[in-house]
Amino acid sequence: MYKILPKADLPRLIEKWMEQATVYAPVRQGDFTKFEPLSDPAQADLYYAANTRYPPKSLFLPQSEVMFRVKGSEFEPTGDEVSSRVVLGIHACDTRALQLLDGVFVDRDYQDPYWARKREQTTLVVLGCANPCETCFCTSVGSGPFDKRGADVMLIDLGNEYVADVRSEKGQVLFDHLPDASQEQIDASRQVQAAAAAKMKKPFETEGLKDKLYNLFESGFWATIQQSCLGCGVCTFLCPTCYCFDIVDEVQRNERVRNWDTCMFRIYSQEASGHNPRPTNTERTRQRIMHKYAYFVDLFNEIGCTGCGRCVRYCPVNLDIRQIIRSAQAWEES
Amino acid sequence: MSDKWTPRIVVFQCQYCLYSEADQKWMDTQLPPHIKLIQVPCTGRISPLFVLNAIQGGTDGILISGCQPEKCHYKEGNLGARRQLDAFRRFLTYLGLEEGRIRFAWIDVSERGRIQQELAGLEKTIQAMGPITRLATRAIPVGEKR
Amino acid sequence: MNSLTLAIRQEAARLLEEKIVDVVIGFEAGTLPLKAQPAFITRKEEAEKLVFNGFCQNNLAAYLTRFPKEKRLGIICRGCESRAVRALVIEHQHDRDKLYLIGVPCTGIIDWRKIERRVGENTLQAREEGDEVIVTTRDGEHRFRRADVLHDSCARCLHPNPVGADIVLGDPLPEGDPERAWAPVLEFEALPPEERYAYFVQETGRCIRCYACREACPMCYCTECFVDHTAPRWTESMITPGGTQAWHIVRAFHQAGRCVSCGACERACPMDIKMTYLVDKLSYDMMQQYGFEVGASDEKQPPFAAFTLDDRNRFVR
């Protein structure tokens, strides 16, 4: 179902949604944007930056999340406070990431109630990327700037108006009252989509990549590419698909919390005995790449990277995952 | 400010700095309940992290008492401590903490009864300042700025 | 290619050929136009990869402590890197005779954020031409005066010339202006306390605890950082104000009398947090109180490691 939404009407529509739900959208914070709950539709800045710097996975897996509180000898659950939410202006790569993470958090044997509750309560109004960034590579990892998987609604920017491709019941609730798009408008939106995907470069091929990586497991490749890696958590914390967390009892706060954790930290794999099975950056870098491009493929038959380019842009030493994959493909054992 | 408010005070005390047995006994047994005593072998043992932890936990005033320079039981533990803790206090002031919340008392042999005076002085300053708000951040929920 | 790059390549090739060092640490061209990438050269043929320009934004001395002490390292050293190496040698992190410092006077690092703030996210090409930086984006060419897009730490750099280098390539530059260097600290100090605290809260409030500032810093080399301790746990583990403020306070304080003011921490931060103003205050105090400046001497211990009875009554209050 295709609806039409003049851009000038968007604030009014947001206001309408705000009566029923908390609306999240990219909001400017200094030189970047971050998803924040809106108190005024004017705060939403869908175009300031291509991607929000802080990944929207945080709306479902907050960086620090209280799992329960302890009051005296009682446990006090948290998480019930999640009410109906609309996420506006999330891009296809980040939406795709949420869908991949559903595989981790809900679709397998174990259900994560914290994640599931927030996902159920949320409607994703995705904004397709008409102008993908130089650092984006979604088309190389099996996705695209207008990948509709996971979207409740996909907005396609036609300049003065959006064509809204309404794809789920949740989406219908938000867009039902709007007029239908004309065939012309739908055709125009298809052109925008095709043009955007055509503009994108393809920095690497993924054919045979998984097997290649498994073959490289013990090779000198990892020691070579990791040399400049500082071992910080920028790539993994900004990554929309990295989901590792660490559970901590914050005794002074009377809380059990879970915090994002990253395989790039030395203490991530440190055992209580002091032994560390991933003692150096070499093993840690290998883990990060292998998880996304090999283990994830084994588990879900999908690459665990959506090509958003955050790790490429913000790595302090310009260690570029596209370059790593290219080098892996080209690596010959000497 | 309500009259009822009693400041929370922490004393980091070098175990050798009170030369008068009566003073030490007073510290060990007579301290009012709102003053917590943390005795250390030497001021050199006081990591700035201890001070920060106390501040973050909502301590309104901190007294650090140690020996005069040449009187350190461990020869020079206090010399290093003085440089570090003084710089740390100055640093917290730079960040916006009120200056009088951390106080030093470097006590000499002849200064019987000084520790009580220092505590009274600190308490007076803190009473005038009111409860700590800046940097007292422990247990603030995620996303809240204070 | 600039003449410095050429000279660096020649020197690196010579060092490797004559087996004076095992590795040369420098920069190679990055995958993004506004960035270069640290490079580790072990064969003389690879020296051709090396580049040197204003986009080399990391402090290479940060890699020094990652190599075993017996490795002989050649390091491209700008002013800040050479001072960091000196400080690390004083702290026994490497033997000076196992290091070969290729000194390069530095005209400052170009801040990619300042450029992107003006031209947007899609840079296609970037190059330096004399005092200008020329950036090509999807919508055309943009020219900037180099001075306008320098990283803040570089704009107020005091010592652009390397100290104690084994060889210096390029001509020495005039020293920086101390008044300009310390102005931000003094201005901040003059603000009312509540404003100072509000600024600190606002900056640390964005912290995501990725520790890029720690890892990018040449002087942060503890095998176990205080935030990684679990027993005792020194700070809240979360991104709460308690956790992030403690991190920034203690990180900065641990740099007192050790920070070389290179600004690598701020350049590494993915959340644009301003943090050099913290350590700069400590550096300023160390200079005022103890006349100590990192890298000024190759034997003087930092103030917290050296103390004297002469401090006597300075603190009594």
The residues in B 101-140 lying below 8 A from A, measured between CB atoms, are 138-139
The shortest C-alpha distance from A323 to chain C (Å) reads 8
Which residue, of C149, C172, C200, is where some domain finishes? C149
Query: Has residue C313 been placed in a domain?
Result: no
Residues of B in contact with A253 (CB under 8 A): 138-139
Residue B145: its pLDDT value, please? 65
Are C27 and C142 members of one domain?
A: no
Q: For chain C, which chains pass the contact test of at least 3 CB pairs under 8 Å? A: A, B
Amino acid at C168: V
C123 and C217 assigned to the same domain:
no
Average pLDDT over residues C173-199: 96
Q: Residues A328, A209: contact at Cβ < 8 Å?
A: yes
Asked if A234's CB is within 8 angstroms of C212's CB, the reply is: yes
Q: Which residues of chain A from 153 to 192 reach within 8 Å of chain C, CB to CB?
A: none
Closest C-alpha among A153, A74, A48, A62 to residue A115: A62
* pLDDT for B143 beyond 90: no
In B, which residues are within 8 Å of A63 by CB distance?
A: 142
In chain B, what residues touch A249 (CB-CB under 8 Å)?
none
Residue C315 to chain A, least CA–CA distance (Å)? 34
Asked if the C-beta of B76 comes within 8 angstroms of chain C's C-beta atoms, the answer is: yes
Tell me whether B56 touches chain C (CB under 8 Å): yes
Nearest to C123 among A53, A64, A134 (CB): A134
Q: How many interchain CB pairs under 8 A, A with C?
A: 109
The question of ipTM being above 0.90 is answered as yes
| Residue A321 parent element (H or E) | helix A321-330
Q: Specify whether the CB–CB gap between A327 and A319 falls below 8 A.
A: no
C183 and C193 both lie in a single domain: yes
Distance from CA of C237 to the nearest CA of B (A): 11
First to last CA, chain A: 56
Q: Give residue C317's pLDDT band: very low, low, confident or very high (50, 70, 90).
A: very low
**Are C178 and C289 within 8 A, CB to CB?**
no
Closest-approach residue (CA) in chain C for B136: C242
Q: Report yes or no on C311 lying in a domain.
A: no
What is the share, in percent, of chain A residues with pLDDT greater than 90?
A: 89
Residues 6 or more apart in contact with residue C102 via CB below 8 angstroms: C8, C11, C12, C15, C24, C26, C74, C75, C76, C77, C165, C166, C167, C169
Paired with C98 in beta bridges are none
User: Domain check: are C22 and C51 in the same one?
Assistant: yes
What integer is the mean pLDDT of A77-92? Answer: 87
Residue A298 to residue A294: CA distance in whole angstroms: 6
CB C303 within 8 A of CB C311: no
| Nearest residue to A199 (alpha-carbon basis) of A262, A138, A126 | A138
DSSP B35-88: EEEEEES-GGG--HHHHHHHHHTT-SEEEEEEE-GGG-TTSSHHHHHHHHHHHH
Whether C136 and C157 map to the same domain: the answer is no
Given the structure tokens 């701020």, which residue do they identify?
C266
Conformational region of residue A129, where left means phi above 0, alpha means psi within -120 to 50, and beta covers everything else = beta
Q: Are the beta carbons of B134 and B10 closer than 8 angstroms?
A: no
B: neighbours with 3+ CB pairs under 8 Å?
A: A, C
* Same domain flag for C64 and C169: yes
Q: Single out the residue in C124, C149, C174 at which a domain terminates.
A: C149
Query: Helices then strands (H, E): number in chain B?
Result: 4, 4
Q: Which two tokens stand for residue A98?
A: 């949420």
Could you tell me which residue, C194 or A201, shows the higher pLDDT? C194
On the question of pLDDT at A124 being above 60, the answer is yes
User: Rounded CA gap, A162 and A78, in Å?
Assistant: 38
Closest to C260 measured CA to CA, from C154, C180, C189: C154
Q: Do A252 and B142 touch (CB under 8 A)?
A: no
Q: In sequence order, what are the residues at sequence separation of 6 or more whose Cβ sits closer than 8 angstroms to the Cβ of residue A275? A: none
C-alpha to C-alpha distance for A100 and A55, rounded to whole angstroms: 14
SS3 of chain A: helix, strand, coil, percent, to 5: 40, 20, 40
Is A27 within 8 Å of A36 (Cβ atoms)?
Answer: yes
Q: Cβ of C196 and B70 within 8 Å? A: no
Asked if the Cβ–Cβ distance from B138 to A253 is below 8 Å, we say yes
Could you tell me which residues are beta bridge partners of residue A163? A4, A156
Contacts of C188 in chain B (CB under 8 A): 94
Structural domain containing residue C266: 3-111+150-306
| Closest CA–CA distance from residue A125 to any residue of chain C (Å) | 24
Q: Which chain C residue has its CA at the smallest distance from A238's CA?
A: C270
Q: Is residue C314 part of a domain?
A: no
A 251-290 → C contacts, CB under 8 A: 252-253, 257, 259, 262, 265-267
Distances (CA, A) of A85 to A2, A15, A56, C202: 22, 13, 13, 27
Q: Which two tokens stand for residue A26?
A: 């990219």
pLDDT at C307: 77
A262 contacts in chain C (CB < 8 Å): 210
Shortest Cα distance from B90 to chain A (angstroms)?
27
The domain limits of chain B are 9-129
Q: In this complex, which of A62, A63, A253 lies closest to B139 when CB atoms are compared?
A: A253
For chain C, report the end-to-end CA distance as a whole number of angstroms.
Answer: 60
- Residues in B touching C256 (Cβ below 8 Å): 87, 91
Measured over the CA atoms of residue C85, residue C89, residue C91 and residue C94, the dihedral's sign is positive
Q: Which residues of A touch C270 (CB under 8 A)?
A: 53, 234, 237-238, 314, 316
Distance CA C166, CA C67 (A): 20
Tokens of residue A261, six digits: 């954790």
What integer is the mean pLDDT of C59-83? 96
What's domain B9-129's architecture?
Answer: 3-Layer(aba) Sandwich (3.40)
- Judge whether C316 lies within some domain: no
Is C38 at the interface with chain A, CB within 8 A? Answer: yes
The two three-digit tokens of residue A230, written as one number: 């500082």
State CA A123 to chain mean position distance. Answer: 15
Whether A290 has a pLDDT exceeding 60, the answer reads yes
| Distance between C44 CA and the closest CA of chain B, angstroms | 47
Across the interface, of C189, C307, C316, the residue whose CB is closest to B106 is: C316
Nearest residue of C to residue B78, measured between CA atoms: C307
pLDDT greater than 90 at residue C156: yes
Determine the Cα–Cα distance for residues C147 and C73; give it in Å rounded to an integer.
Answer: 32
Contact B105, B65 (CB under 8 A): yes
Q: What is the pLDDT of residue C314?
A: 56
Q: Which residue would you say has higher pLDDT here, C307 or C270?
A: C270
Q: What is the DSSP string of A73-97?
A: TEEEE--TT---EEEEEE-HHHHHH
What are A105-114's pLDDT values in tens digits? 998 788 999 9
CB contact under 8 A, B139 and A64: no
* Span C151-180, average pLDDT: 96
Burial A82-118 (b: 16+ CB within 10 A, else e): beebbbbbbbbbbbbbbbbbbebbeeeeeebebbeeb
pLDDT at B86 over 60: yes
pLDDT digits (tens, 9 = 90+) for A156-165: 999 999 999 9
Of C30, C15, C94, C97, the closest CA to residue C61 belongs to C94
Comparing CA positions, the residue from C80, C95, C91, C106 lying closest to residue C163 is C80
- C-alpha C97/C-alpha C298 separation (Å) is 13
For residue C312, name the pLDDT band (cuts at 50, 70, 90). low
Minimal-distance CA residue of chain C relative to A230: C215
Q: How far is CA A118 from CA A90, A109, A151, in A?
A: 16, 19, 15
Q: Are C78 and C105 in contact (CB under 8 A)?
A: yes
Average pLDDT over residues C23-37: 96
pLDDT per position as a tens digit, C205-249: 999 999 999 999 999 999 889 999 888 888 999 999 999 999 999
Q: Domain residues of chain A, as ranges?
A: 2-199, 209-330
Touching subunits of A (3+ CB pairs, under 8 Å) are B, C
pLDDT surpasses 80 at A333: no
Q: Is A252–B57 a contact, with Cβ atoms under 8 angstroms apart?
A: yes
Do residue C316 and residue B141 have CB atoms under 8 angstroms apart?
A: no
> Beta strand A255-260 with A245-250: parallel, antiparallel or unpaired?
antiparallel
- Residue corresponding to tokens 């259900």: A111
Indicate which of B52, B142, B144, B145 best probes the interface with A, i.e. most A CBs within 10 Å of its own CB.
B142
**pLDDT of the residue at A109:** 82
Is the bond leading into C184 cis (omega within 30 degrees of zero)? no
Percent pLDDT > 90 in chain B is: 75
Task: State whether C156 and C227 are in the same domain.
Answer: yes
Residue of chain A minimizing CA distance to C269: A316
Q: How does pLDDT run across C296-309, given as a tens digit for each residue?
A: 998 889 988 887 77
Using CB atoms, which residue from C195, C198, C304 is nearest to B84?
C304
